[in-house]
């Protein structure tokens, strides 16, 4: 039986936790995109397709992670 080849998952991380960033960067089966704040995220999202998952800190500069998700789903 042949193993199926799946494209890598595309994961967006919004935050500054270097240990989270380092852990995701070690994984080979993902494309990992990091953004330090929500402004950078909204600016860079148009270049990333598809997005399979978001990982977001709750305490972000200028807003919470939950308010970011609300804003994201209103615009995309």
Q: What is the pLDDT along the chain (76 residues), one digit of tens a residue?
A: 566 777 888 999 999 999 999 999 898 889 999 999 888 888 898 888 889 998 999 888 778 888 888 888 887 7
Q: Which token pair is 16?
A: 């500054």
Q: Give the residue extent of every domain in the chain.
A: 9-75
The helix (H) or strand (E) run that includes residue 34 is strand 30-35
User: In the prediction, which pLDDT does 72 show?
Assistant: 83
User: In the prediction, which pLDDT does 76 show?
Assistant: 72
Length of the chain: 76
User: In the prediction, which pLDDT does 39 show?
Assistant: 86
User: In the prediction, which pLDDT does 11 show?
Assistant: 93
> Would the CA dihedral through 13, 18, 19, 25 be positive or negative?
positive
The matching CATH number, chosen from 3.40.50.2300, 1.20.1250.20, 3.40.710.10, 3.30.70.3270, for 9-75 is: 3.40.50.2300
User: In the prediction, which pLDDT does 3 show?
Assistant: 60
């Amino acid at each position: 039986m042949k193993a199926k080849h799946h494209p890598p998952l595309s994961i967006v991380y919004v935050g500054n936790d270097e240990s989270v960033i380092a852990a995701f960067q070690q994984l080979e089966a993902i494309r990992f995109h990091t953004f330090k704040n929500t402004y950078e995220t909204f600016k860079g999202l148009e270049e990333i397709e598809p997005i399979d998952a978001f990982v977001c800190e709750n305490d972000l500069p200028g807003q919470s992670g939950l308010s970011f998700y609300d804003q994201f789903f209103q615009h995309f």
